[in-house]
Protein backbone atom coordinates (compact mmCIF):
# COMPACT_ATOMS: atom_id res chain seq x y z
CA UNK A 1 0.00 0.00 0.00
CA UNK A 2 1.36 3.40 -0.97
CA UNK A 3 0.72 6.11 1.62
CA UNK A 4 0.78 9.59 0.10
CA UNK A 5 1.95 11.62 3.08
CA UNK A 6 2.03 14.79 0.95
CA UNK A 7 -1.79 14.61 0.75
CA UNK A 8 -2.04 15.20 4.52
CA UNK A 9 -2.85 18.69 5.73
CA UNK A 10 0.28 18.49 7.88
CA UNK A 11 2.64 15.72 6.71
CA UNK A 12 4.87 16.35 9.74
CA UNK A 13 2.21 14.71 11.92
CA UNK A 14 2.91 11.37 10.19
CA UNK A 15 6.26 10.88 11.92
CA UNK A 16 4.65 8.93 14.78
CA UNK A 17 2.48 6.65 12.60
CA UNK A 18 3.29 2.94 13.01
CA UNK A 19 3.29 1.49 9.50
CA UNK A 20 4.41 -1.93 10.69
CA UNK A 21 0.97 -2.47 12.26
CA UNK A 22 -0.66 -2.71 8.87
CA UNK A 23 -1.12 -6.13 7.18
CA UNK A 24 0.48 -4.95 3.93
CA UNK A 25 3.97 -3.67 3.09
CA UNK A 26 3.88 0.14 2.96
CA UNK A 27 5.43 2.51 0.41
CA UNK A 28 5.80 5.96 1.99
CA UNK A 29 5.73 8.90 -0.44
CA UNK A 30 5.95 12.61 0.37
CA UNK A 31 6.34 14.26 -3.02
CA UNK A 32 7.06 17.99 -3.21
CA UNK A 33 4.97 20.39 -5.28
CA UNK A 34 7.82 20.98 -7.73
CA UNK A 35 7.85 17.23 -8.39
CA UNK A 36 4.11 16.79 -8.98
CA UNK A 37 3.03 16.28 -5.36
CA UNK A 38 1.47 18.46 -2.67
CA UNK A 39 4.23 18.77 -0.08
CA UNK A 40 5.28 22.40 0.43
CA UNK A 41 8.42 21.76 2.46
CA UNK A 42 12.01 21.36 1.31
CA UNK A 43 13.65 18.24 -0.05
CA UNK A 44 15.45 17.90 3.28
CA UNK A 45 12.11 17.98 5.13
CA UNK A 46 10.75 15.37 2.73
CA UNK A 47 13.71 13.05 3.34
CA UNK A 48 13.43 13.51 7.10
CA UNK A 49 9.71 12.57 7.04
CA UNK A 50 10.49 9.50 4.92
CA UNK A 51 13.25 8.40 7.32
CA UNK A 52 10.71 8.54 10.16
CA UNK A 53 8.34 6.43 8.04
CA UNK A 54 11.09 3.85 7.54
CA UNK A 55 11.90 3.88 11.25
CA UNK A 56 8.22 3.16 11.93
CA UNK A 57 7.92 0.16 9.62
CA UNK A 58 7.51 1.40 6.04
CA UNK A 59 9.19 -1.17 3.75
CA UNK A 60 9.75 1.27 0.85
CA UNK A 61 10.12 5.01 0.36
CA UNK A 62 9.63 6.82 -2.98
CA UNK A 63 12.12 9.64 -3.64
CA UNK A 64 12.80 11.68 -6.78
CA UNK A 65 15.88 10.04 -8.32
CA UNK A 66 17.75 13.37 -8.43
CA UNK A 67 17.60 13.62 -4.62
CA UNK A 68 17.54 9.96 -3.66
CA UNK A 69 19.82 8.73 -0.89
CA UNK A 70 19.97 5.56 1.23
CA UNK A 71 17.25 5.38 3.87
CA UNK A 72 17.96 3.17 6.88
CA UNK A 73 15.43 0.38 7.24
CA UNK A 74 13.68 0.72 3.86
CA UNK A 75 14.27 0.10 0.16
CA UNK A 76 14.36 3.28 -1.89
CA UNK A 77 12.27 3.63 -5.04
CA UNK A 78 14.21 6.23 -7.04
CA UNK A 79 11.55 7.80 -9.26
CA UNK A 80 11.08 10.09 -12.23
CA UNK A 81 7.72 11.70 -13.08
CA UNK A 82 6.68 13.73 -16.11
CA UNK A 83 3.02 14.71 -15.96
CA UNK A 84 3.01 16.38 -19.38
CA UNK A 85 4.69 13.99 -21.84
CA UNK A 86 6.88 10.95 -22.37
CA UNK A 87 10.48 12.16 -22.93
CA UNK A 88 12.33 11.32 -26.14
CA UNK A 89 15.29 9.20 -24.97
CA UNK A 90 13.74 6.82 -22.45
CA UNK A 91 16.60 4.26 -22.31
CA UNK A 92 19.11 6.98 -21.40
CA UNK A 93 16.72 8.38 -18.80
CA UNK A 94 16.09 4.99 -17.25
CA UNK A 95 19.84 4.44 -17.20
CA UNK A 96 20.30 7.60 -15.13
CA UNK A 97 17.52 6.58 -12.74
CA UNK A 98 19.17 3.17 -12.28
CA UNK A 99 22.51 4.84 -11.53
CA UNK A 100 21.01 6.87 -8.67
CA UNK A 101 20.93 5.53 -5.08
CA UNK A 102 18.03 3.17 -4.58
CA UNK A 103 17.06 -0.46 -4.85
CA UNK A 104 14.28 0.08 -7.44
CA UNK A 105 14.07 2.48 -10.41
CA UNK A 106 10.69 3.99 -11.32
CA UNK A 107 9.63 5.93 -14.41
CA UNK A 108 6.12 7.40 -14.75
CA UNK A 109 5.21 9.56 -17.73
CA UNK A 110 2.13 11.06 -19.36
CA UNK A 111 1.14 9.08 -22.45
CA UNK A 112 -0.15 11.20 -25.34
CA UNK A 113 0.25 8.76 -28.25
CA UNK A 114 0.30 5.02 -28.89
CA UNK A 115 3.96 5.45 -29.75
CA UNK A 116 4.51 6.54 -26.14
CA UNK A 117 2.92 3.27 -24.95
CA UNK A 118 5.14 1.27 -27.31
CA UNK A 119 8.29 2.96 -26.03
CA UNK A 120 7.33 2.36 -22.39
CA UNK A 121 6.79 -1.33 -23.07
CA UNK A 122 10.13 -1.47 -24.89
CA UNK A 123 11.79 -0.34 -21.64
CA UNK A 124 10.40 -3.44 -19.94
CA UNK A 125 11.93 -5.69 -22.60
CA UNK A 126 15.41 -4.37 -21.72
CA UNK A 127 17.62 -5.84 -19.00
CA UNK A 128 18.38 -3.31 -16.25
CA UNK A 129 20.78 -3.62 -13.29
CA UNK A 130 17.91 -3.39 -10.79
CA UNK A 131 14.13 -3.91 -10.70
CA UNK A 132 12.22 -1.23 -12.61
CA UNK A 133 8.71 0.18 -12.41
CA UNK A 134 7.22 1.59 -15.62
CA UNK A 135 3.93 3.48 -15.41
CA UNK A 136 1.99 5.40 -18.06
CA UNK A 137 -0.36 8.17 -16.94
CA UNK A 138 -3.60 9.13 -18.66
CA UNK A 139 -6.52 7.18 -20.14
CA UNK A 140 -4.43 6.18 -23.15
CA UNK A 141 -1.95 4.45 -20.83
CA UNK A 142 -4.27 2.13 -18.92
CA UNK A 143 -2.91 -0.75 -21.00
CA UNK A 144 0.54 -0.18 -19.41
CA UNK A 145 -0.96 -0.24 -15.92
CA UNK A 146 -2.74 -3.54 -16.63
CA UNK A 147 -0.06 -5.54 -18.45
CA UNK A 148 3.06 -3.88 -17.00
CA UNK A 149 3.74 -6.44 -14.23
CA UNK A 150 3.28 -9.36 -16.63
CA UNK A 151 5.85 -7.74 -18.93
CA UNK A 152 8.44 -7.07 -16.21
CA UNK A 153 7.39 -4.03 -14.17
CA UNK A 154 8.16 -4.55 -10.47
CA UNK A 155 4.68 -3.32 -9.58
CA UNK A 156 1.75 -1.27 -10.83
CA UNK A 157 -0.58 1.19 -9.14
CA UNK A 158 -4.33 1.25 -8.57
CA UNK A 159 -6.54 3.47 -6.41
CA UNK A 160 -9.45 2.82 -4.08
CA UNK A 161 -11.31 4.92 -6.67
CA UNK A 162 -10.40 5.65 -10.33
CA UNK A 163 -7.83 8.45 -10.82
CA UNK A 164 -7.26 8.56 -7.05
CA UNK A 165 -3.65 9.73 -7.22
CA UNK A 166 -2.84 9.99 -10.95
CA UNK A 167 -4.69 10.44 -14.25
CA UNK A 168 -5.77 7.16 -15.82
CA UNK A 169 -5.34 5.21 -12.59
CA UNK A 170 -7.74 2.25 -12.43
CA UNK A 171 -9.56 1.24 -9.27
CA UNK A 172 -8.32 -1.68 -7.20
CA UNK A 173 -11.70 -3.34 -7.80
CA UNK A 174 -11.32 -3.16 -11.59
CA UNK A 175 -7.66 -4.12 -11.58
CA UNK A 176 -8.33 -7.32 -9.62
CA UNK A 177 -11.94 -8.06 -10.56
CA UNK A 178 -12.16 -7.01 -14.22
CA UNK A 179 -8.58 -7.38 -15.46
CA UNK A 180 -7.55 -10.28 -13.14
CA UNK A 181 -4.12 -8.69 -12.69
CA UNK A 182 -2.62 -11.49 -10.61
CA UNK A 183 -3.39 -14.07 -13.30
CA UNK A 184 -1.68 -12.22 -16.16
CA UNK A 185 1.54 -13.78 -17.48
CA UNK A 186 4.14 -12.97 -20.14
CA UNK A 187 2.17 -15.28 -22.44
CA UNK A 188 -1.16 -13.48 -21.89
CA UNK A 189 -2.52 -12.22 -25.21
CA UNK A 190 -3.57 -8.57 -25.40
CA UNK A 191 -6.98 -7.74 -26.89
CA UNK A 192 -9.13 -4.63 -26.54
CA UNK A 193 -11.69 -2.19 -27.84
CA UNK A 194 -10.79 0.75 -30.06
CA UNK A 195 -13.06 3.80 -30.17
CA UNK A 196 -13.46 7.35 -28.93
CA UNK A 197 -14.70 7.89 -26.27
CA UNK A 198 -14.71 4.60 -24.35
CA UNK A 199 -15.70 5.66 -20.84
CA UNK A 200 -19.07 3.93 -21.24
CA UNK A 201 -17.84 0.61 -22.58
CA UNK A 202 -18.68 -2.59 -20.69
CA UNK A 203 -16.58 -4.67 -23.09
CA UNK A 204 -13.71 -5.33 -20.62
CA UNK A 205 -16.16 -6.66 -18.03
CA UNK A 206 -17.98 -8.91 -20.53
CA UNK A 207 -14.97 -10.26 -22.41
CA UNK A 208 -12.66 -10.79 -19.43
CA UNK A 209 -15.39 -12.78 -17.66
CA UNK A 210 -15.83 -14.83 -20.84
CA UNK A 211 -12.08 -15.45 -21.09
CA UNK A 212 -12.03 -16.59 -17.46
CA UNK A 213 -15.00 -18.92 -18.02
CA UNK A 214 -13.33 -20.46 -21.08
CA UNK A 215 -9.89 -20.69 -19.48
CA UNK A 216 -8.32 -18.46 -22.15
CA UNK A 217 -5.02 -16.68 -21.46
CA UNK A 218 -6.29 -13.33 -22.80
CA UNK A 219 -6.86 -9.89 -21.27
CA UNK A 220 -9.23 -7.30 -22.76
CA UNK A 221 -8.37 -3.60 -22.26
CA UNK A 222 -9.77 -0.27 -23.47
CA UNK A 223 -7.81 1.36 -26.32
CA UNK A 224 -9.15 4.94 -26.51
CA UNK A 225 -8.05 6.19 -29.93
CA UNK A 226 -8.51 9.42 -31.84
CA UNK A 227 -5.85 8.72 -34.51
CA UNK A 228 -6.51 5.30 -36.10
CA UNK A 229 -3.42 5.45 -38.33
CA UNK A 230 -1.10 6.08 -35.37
CA UNK A 231 -2.73 3.26 -33.42
CA UNK A 232 -2.13 0.68 -36.16
CA UNK A 233 1.46 1.88 -36.63
CA UNK A 234 2.13 0.69 -33.06
CA UNK A 235 -0.43 -2.07 -32.47
CA UNK A 236 1.73 -5.07 -33.36
CA UNK A 237 4.76 -3.74 -31.48
CA UNK A 238 2.50 -3.53 -28.42
CA UNK A 239 1.59 -7.18 -28.89
CA UNK A 240 -2.07 -6.54 -29.69
CA UNK A 241 -3.75 -9.66 -31.14
CA UNK A 242 -7.27 -8.42 -31.80
CA UNK A 243 -9.81 -5.64 -31.44
CA UNK A 244 -13.44 -4.83 -31.02
CA UNK A 245 -14.24 -1.66 -32.96
CA UNK A 246 -16.84 0.89 -31.95
CA UNK A 247 -17.89 4.47 -32.71
CA UNK A 248 -16.52 6.32 -34.65
CA UNK A 249 -14.00 3.90 -36.22
CA UNK A 250 -16.05 1.08 -37.78
CA UNK A 251 -15.29 2.33 -41.29
CA UNK A 252 -12.13 4.28 -40.48
CA UNK A 253 -10.16 1.10 -39.64
CA UNK A 254 -10.69 -0.50 -43.06
CA UNK A 255 -7.76 1.19 -44.87
CA UNK A 256 -5.38 -0.28 -42.27
CA UNK A 257 -6.55 -3.88 -42.66
CA UNK A 258 -5.14 -6.50 -45.02
CA UNK A 259 -8.29 -8.53 -45.56
CA UNK A 260 -12.06 -8.31 -44.99
CA UNK A 261 -14.44 -11.21 -44.47
CA UNK A 262 -17.30 -11.36 -47.00
CA UNK A 263 -19.71 -10.03 -44.34
CA UNK A 264 -17.52 -7.02 -43.55
CA UNK A 265 -16.95 -6.30 -47.24
CA UNK A 266 -20.68 -6.39 -47.96
CA UNK A 267 -21.54 -4.13 -45.04
CA UNK A 268 -18.64 -1.72 -45.55
CA UNK A 269 -17.94 -1.57 -41.83
CA UNK A 270 -15.90 -3.58 -39.31
CA UNK A 271 -16.56 -4.23 -35.63
CA UNK A 272 -14.00 -7.03 -35.07
CA UNK A 273 -10.31 -7.19 -36.06
CA UNK A 274 -7.89 -10.05 -35.49
CA UNK A 275 -4.29 -10.91 -36.41
CA UNK A 276 -4.02 -14.09 -38.49
CA UNK A 277 -1.13 -15.41 -40.61
CA UNK A 278 0.67 -12.08 -40.50
CA UNK A 279 -2.37 -10.05 -41.55
CA UNK A 280 -5.00 -7.84 -39.93
CA UNK A 281 -8.42 -9.31 -40.77
CA UNK A 282 -11.63 -7.31 -40.42
CA UNK A 283 -14.98 -8.95 -39.66
CA UNK A 284 -18.48 -7.74 -38.76
CA UNK A 285 -20.66 -9.50 -36.20
CA UNK A 286 -23.23 -6.69 -35.94
CA UNK A 287 -25.34 -8.21 -38.70
CA UNK A 288 -25.42 -11.53 -36.82
CA UNK A 289 -26.41 -9.68 -33.66
CA UNK A 290 -29.26 -7.83 -35.34
CA UNK A 291 -30.66 -11.00 -36.89
CA UNK A 292 -30.38 -12.90 -33.61
CA UNK A 293 -32.10 -10.10 -31.68
CA UNK A 294 -35.00 -9.96 -34.14
CA UNK A 295 -35.32 -13.74 -34.16
CA UNK A 296 -35.46 -13.79 -30.35
CA UNK A 297 -38.44 -11.43 -30.57
CA UNK A 298 -40.10 -13.60 -33.21
CA UNK A 299 -39.84 -10.86 -35.83
CA UNK A 300 -39.17 -11.72 -39.48
CA UNK A 301 -38.39 -8.61 -41.59
CA UNK A 302 -39.40 -10.27 -44.86
CA UNK A 303 -42.11 -8.19 -46.53
CA UNK A 304 -42.03 -5.59 -43.72
CA UNK A 305 -41.39 -1.84 -43.69
CA UNK A 306 -38.21 -0.91 -41.77
CA UNK A 307 -36.87 2.49 -40.69
CA UNK A 308 -33.24 2.73 -39.51
CA UNK A 309 -31.96 5.76 -37.61
CA UNK A 310 -28.31 6.61 -38.31
CA UNK A 311 -25.90 6.12 -41.19
CA UNK A 312 -22.74 4.78 -39.53
CA UNK A 313 -21.28 1.30 -39.27
CA UNK A 314 -24.07 -0.07 -37.06
CA UNK A 315 -26.67 1.23 -39.53
CA UNK A 316 -24.88 -0.44 -42.45
CA UNK A 317 -24.97 -3.77 -40.63
CA UNK A 318 -28.66 -3.32 -39.84
CA UNK A 319 -29.42 -2.65 -43.54
CA UNK A 320 -27.72 -5.92 -44.47
CA UNK A 321 -29.53 -7.82 -41.71
CA UNK A 322 -32.98 -6.76 -43.00
CA UNK A 323 -32.26 -6.83 -46.72
CA UNK A 324 -35.25 -9.11 -47.31
CA UNK A 325 -37.63 -6.39 -46.05
CA UNK A 326 -40.25 -4.86 -48.31
CA UNK A 327 -38.84 -1.36 -47.86
CA UNK A 328 -35.92 0.04 -45.83
CA UNK A 329 -35.59 3.77 -45.10
CA UNK A 330 -32.37 5.08 -43.57
CA UNK A 331 -32.51 8.46 -41.81
CA UNK A 332 -29.43 10.47 -40.93
CA UNK A 333 -29.11 11.97 -37.46
CA UNK A 334 -30.16 15.28 -38.99
CA UNK A 335 -33.42 13.67 -40.11
CA UNK A 336 -34.10 11.75 -36.90
CA UNK A 337 -36.51 14.43 -35.54
CA UNK A 338 -38.68 13.73 -38.61
CA UNK A 339 -38.77 9.97 -37.98
CA UNK A 340 -42.28 10.14 -36.51
CA UNK A 341 -43.49 10.81 -40.06
CA UNK A 342 -42.34 7.32 -41.17
CA UNK A 343 -44.71 4.65 -39.82
CA UNK A 344 -43.15 1.19 -40.02
CA UNK A 345 -43.22 -2.38 -38.82
CA UNK A 346 -39.69 -2.18 -37.38
CA UNK A 347 -37.71 0.82 -36.12
CA UNK A 348 -33.96 0.35 -35.49
CA UNK A 349 -31.98 2.92 -33.52
CA UNK A 350 -28.42 2.73 -34.89
CA UNK A 351 -27.37 6.17 -33.61
CA UNK A 352 -25.32 6.88 -30.45
CA UNK A 353 -28.40 8.53 -28.91
CA UNK A 354 -28.80 6.79 -25.57
CA UNK A 355 -25.11 5.98 -25.17
CA UNK A 356 -22.87 7.49 -22.51
CA UNK A 357 -22.98 10.35 -21.67
CA UNK A 358 -26.45 10.84 -23.20
CA UNK A 359 -27.90 7.85 -21.36
CA UNK A 360 -31.31 9.45 -20.83
CA UNK A 361 -31.63 10.84 -24.35
CA UNK A 362 -34.07 9.32 -26.86
CA UNK A 363 -34.65 9.89 -30.60
CA UNK A 364 -38.40 10.31 -30.01
CA UNK A 365 -40.45 12.71 -27.90
CA UNK A 366 -43.75 10.92 -28.34
CA UNK A 367 -45.36 7.75 -29.63
CA UNK A 368 -43.03 5.58 -31.72
CA UNK A 369 -44.70 4.78 -35.08
CA UNK A 370 -43.56 1.16 -35.14
CA UNK A 371 -44.77 -2.26 -34.07
CA UNK A 372 -41.28 -3.43 -32.99
CA UNK A 373 -38.22 -1.44 -31.89
CA UNK A 374 -34.61 -2.63 -31.89
CA UNK A 375 -32.31 -0.31 -29.93
CA UNK A 376 -28.74 -1.19 -30.96
CA UNK A 377 -27.35 0.84 -28.06
CATH code, domain carrying 325: 3.40.50.720
Q: Mark which of 233, 256, 284 sits at the end of a domain.
A: 284
Helix and strand totals (H; E) in the chain: 10, 16
Helix ranges (DSSP H) in 257-310: 262-267, 286-296
pLDDT in the model for residue 337 = 87
d(CA 278, CA 284): 20
Residues of the chain under the 70 pLDDT cut = none
Q: Mark which of 264, 284, 304 sits at the end of a domain.
A: 284
Q: What is the pTM of this model?
A: 0.89
- Give the tens place of pLDDT for each residue, 230-244: 999 999 999 999 999
pLDDT in the model for residue 199 = 77
pLDDT in the model for residue 359 = 84
One domain for residues 7 and 145: yes
pLDDT in the model for residue 310 = 94
One domain for residues 59 and 84: yes
pLDDT in the model for residue 244 = 97
pLDDT in the model for residue 167 = 83
One domain for residues 156 and 72: yes
250 has catalytic annotation: yes
Which residues have CB under 8 Å from 40's CB, separation 6+?
32, 33
d(CA 377, CA 360): 12
One domain for residues 300 and 336: yes
d(CA 91, CA 185): 24
208: domain CATH number? 3.40.50.10860
Q: Which of 33, 130, 229, 250 is catalytic?
A: 250
- Give the tens place of pLDDT for each residue, 87-143: 999 999 999 999 999 999 999 999 999 999 999 999 999 999 999 999 999 999 999
Amino acid sequence: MEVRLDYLTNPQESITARWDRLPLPVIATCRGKERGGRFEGSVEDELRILQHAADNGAKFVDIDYRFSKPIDGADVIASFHDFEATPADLPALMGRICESPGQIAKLATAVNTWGDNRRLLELLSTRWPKPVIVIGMGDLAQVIRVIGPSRGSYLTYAGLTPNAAAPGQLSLHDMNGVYRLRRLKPSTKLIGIIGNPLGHSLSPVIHNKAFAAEGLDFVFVKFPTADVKEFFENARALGIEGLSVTIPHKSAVIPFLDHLTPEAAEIGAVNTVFWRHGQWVGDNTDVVGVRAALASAGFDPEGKVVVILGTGGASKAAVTAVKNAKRVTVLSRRDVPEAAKYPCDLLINATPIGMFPMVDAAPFQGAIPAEVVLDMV
